[in-house]
Amino acid sequence: MSPIQDHPDRYSLANELHARPFPTVSAPGHAAYLAVKQPSDAANRDRSADVTHLHDLLDRFGAKHPQPGATHYFGELGKHKLKWEQHTEFVTYTIFVEGVTDRPFDKNAFSVFPDDWLESLPGARITSALIRVEHMPEDLAAIRSKANDWFVADSLAISWILDETAVMAGDFRIDSAGHMRFGVFVQPDMGPRRIGRIVQRICEIETYKTMSMLGLSRARDLSRQMGALDTRLSRLIGDMTSDVARPEETLTGLLSISAELEKLLADTSFRFGATGAYEAIVHQRIEVLRETRFEGRQTFREFMMRRFDPAMRTVNSSEARLRAMGERAIRAGDLLRTRVDVARSAENQMLLESMDRRADLQLRLQKTVEGLSVVAISYYAVNLVTYMVAPLGAEIGLSKGLMTAGTTPIVVLLVWFLIQRIRKHVE
């Protein structure tokens, strides 16, 4: 029996499901997280620059490089562990450190990234975070006290997760050092892989939430442009109902607005599409944590519902408005083209009627000319006949006048008959 032939991508597709394993995090411990986005869009992003910068960091600690073409890396970085991931629009660096600092969320925890290395990042920081993992105290009041000390009360989101085996808390605010802060309290018997999944989910929630908000800033910039275009479009549509404006000029204006709207739609389609995808990931990552309320405080899901979802609705509304304006401009252009076509049809009908009248006049003139031509041809024909029969008339005693009078009716009838035959043949 011959071996089964595999699809060329079979193994790569299967390995993709295991390409980004969850990290292992011990408690107590902390993590420093950094997400970097290049200013260019995803299609034009220089991915080699991200890999080169990773190699620079690894070389400083004498760590091994990832395999060529790899989009993820997990390994030792000195006495710490580094997780690196390359995504469509950004790259992430996560440093996992055993133990916690005496001062919660000490900015020195981020010093594992060298300053000169941070300055030469191939892009800009989209977000960064410090995540502190502690064992859960026996008295839950201690968690409440620490959460109140670490985070802003108005923005604090705290909840039980994973069937009340852990507590996570955060306020999604940037501290004085430029980082987000999140705290995790876990049961003493929770394994490092499960803790790693919690830390990974928190990093993903923060990153995709921030990437989604890029759509909001784009929607705000777009709103001003759409406002100006909407005013122009409404004015042109209003001109369609009046007889003052010229339809050709109005149609040219509508086509110009349609082109501008199509360009805006093309420029924003990727960002709005990515925003929708990132929004779905944020809600999915929160859902898998299986939140329950902690002492009546708002959960991460409620925080997103109150703060994040309205921003996403604004983005969706801007995209829908842009598409609706484009469709309205197209419909108005179609209606105006129909109006112009009807007007041109009426003009063409009038032109055809005028041509018919001119053709009728030409026909009458032609008949008049035909009558005159019969007279003229007959005049010359009578003279020729008279010259031809004059000798014969002299012999029989007829004068030239009598011969001319006798031949004239005959010649005129012959000429008229010949012209009629020629016209019938032509027609």
* pLDDT band, very low/low/confident/very high, at 355 (cuts 50, 70, 90): confident
What pLDDT does 21 receive?
72
Give per-residue pLDDT as tens, 165-220.
999 999 999 998 999 999 999 999 999 999 999 999 999 999 999 999 999 988 99
What pLDDT does 277 receive?
94
Q: Which of 239-253, 302-316, 332-346 has the highest mean pLDDT?
A: 302-316
What pLDDT does 109 receive?
84
* pLDDT band, very low/low/confident/very high, at 244 (cuts 50, 70, 90): low
Mean pLDDT (the chain) is 85
On the question of pLDDT at 1 being above 50, the answer is no
SS3 (DSSP) at 341: helix
When comparing pLDDT for 382 and 138, which is higher? Answer: 138
- Rounded Cα distance between 419 and 385, Å, is 19
Lowest mean pLDDT: which of 12-16, 29-33, 314-318, 323-327? Answer: 12-16
Give per-residue pLDDT as tens, 45-78.
788 899 999 999 999 988 899 888 888 888 888 8
On the question of pLDDT at 243 being above 70, the answer is no
What pLDDT does 205 receive?
96
What pLDDT does 108 receive?
84
When comparing pLDDT for 161 and 38, which is higher? Answer: 161
* pLDDT band, very low/low/confident/very high, at 265 (cuts 50, 70, 90): confident
On the question of pLDDT at 2 being above 60, the answer is no
**200 CB contacts (<8 Å, ≥6 apart)?**
22, 23
- Could you tell me the sign of the dihedral formed by the alpha carbons of 279, 285, 290, 296, in that order? negative
Compute the average pLDDT of residues 357-371.
73
Amino acid letter, residue 71: T
On the question of pLDDT at 318 being above 70, the answer is yes
Rounded to 10°, the helix 309-396/247-288 angle is 150
On the question of pLDDT at 269 being above 70, the answer is yes
* pLDDT band, very low/low/confident/very high, at 400 (cuts 50, 70, 90): low
Residue 162 DSSP class: T
- Rounded Cα distance between 249 and 235, Å, is 13
How many Cα atoms sit within 13 Å of 363 on the Cβ side?
8
The edge-to-edge listing of strands for the beta sheet with 124-135 is 72-77, 80-86, 90-98, 29-37, 124-135, 180-186, 166-170, 157-161, 292-293
* pLDDT band, very low/low/confident/very high, at 394 (cuts 50, 70, 90): low
On the question of pLDDT at 344 being above 90, the answer is no
For residues 186 and 135, the answer to whether their CB atoms sit within 8 Å is yes
What pLDDT does 92 receive?
95
State what percent of residues in the chain have pLDDT above 70: 90
Dihedrals phi, psi of 169, to nearest 5 degrees = -145, 150
- Rounded Cα distance between 142 and 156, Å, is 16
What pLDDT does 427 receive?
62
On the question of pLDDT at 118 being above 50, the answer is yes
Question: What structural domains and CATH numbers belong to the chain?
Answer: 19-190 (no CATH), 212-350 (1.20.58), 362-426 (no CATH)
Work out the burial of residue 51: count CB atoms within 10 Å of its CB; fewer than 13 is exposed, 13-18 middle, 19 or more buried.
buried
Pairing of strands 166-170, 180-186: antiparallel
On the question of pLDDT at 325 being above 50, the answer is yes
Helix locations, 83-191, DSSP H: 115-119, 140-150
- Rounded Cα distance between 114 and 130, Å, is 16
Give per-residue pLDDT as tens, 222-234.
888 888 888 888 8
Compute the average pLDDT of residues 31-38.
94
- Rounded Cα distance between 306 and 297, Å, is 14
* pLDDT band, very low/low/confident/very high, at 426 (cuts 50, 70, 90): low
pTM of the predicted model as reported, rounded to 2 decimal places: 0.77
Name the nearest CA neighbour of 84 among 47, 42, 133. 47
